[in-house]
Amino acid sequence: AQSVTQLGSHVSVSEGALVLLRCNYSSSVPPYLFWYVQYPNQGLQLLLKYTSAATLVKGINGFEAEFKKSETSFHLTKPSAHMSDAAEYFCAVSGRTGFQKLVFGTGTRLLVSP
């Protein structure tokens, strides 16, 4: 069984500050890990994904995440927040072969203040 836990349902930062969204996973097999962003009344957009090629994964819009097997973590960071980053962020895990499903966390709402 696979699962992810996102710590903090809401994270507030000031514009220009570091963004850190936390995700811990549980998986009995080597996982693929994903971060998705959801803007209000929209679908999910992939920010980045970990597939084992490199532990530090760079995504779109300046986001990156680091896979730490020893900590079972895949935290999302961005050095400097922008107002447009305000959205809901979801961490997800899946297996690597066969017919896989995405298992999502409960999400973290990022609030950016000027």
Partner 1 sequence: DAGVTQSPTHLIKTRGQQVTLRCSPKSGHDTVSWYQQALGQGPQFIFQYYEEEERQRGNFPDRFSGHQFPNYSSELNVNALLLGDSALYLCASSFRTGWIEDTEAFFGQGTRLTVV
Specify which residues 84 forms β-bridges with: none
90 makes contact with partner 1 (CB under 8 A): yes
Query: Cβ 106 to partner 1, closest distance in Å?
Result: 5
3 makes contact with partner 1 (CB under 8 A): no
CA-CA-CA-CA torsion sign (1, 100, 107, 25): positive
Cα gap 62→76, rounded to integer Å: 11
16-24, 55-63, 70-78, 96-104 -> range binding partner 1 (CB under 8 A): 96-104
- Residue in 53, 13, 16, 14 with CA at minimum distance from that of residue 33: 53
Q: What are phi and psi of 83, to 5 degrees?
A: -55, -35
Annotate each residue in 49-88 with x if it binds partner 1 (CB under 8 A) or - if it does not, as one string: x---------------------------------------
Q: Strand, coil or helix: what is 85? A: helix
Annotate each residue in 33-52 with x if it binds partner 1 (CB under 8 A) or - if it does not, as one string: -x-x----xxxxxx--x---
Query: How many other C-beta atoms can be found within 10 angstroms of the C-beta atom of residue 60?
Result: 10
Smaller CB separation from partner 1, 48 or 112: 48
- Residues near partner 1 (CB under 8 A) are 34, 36, 41-46, 49, 90, 92, 97-107
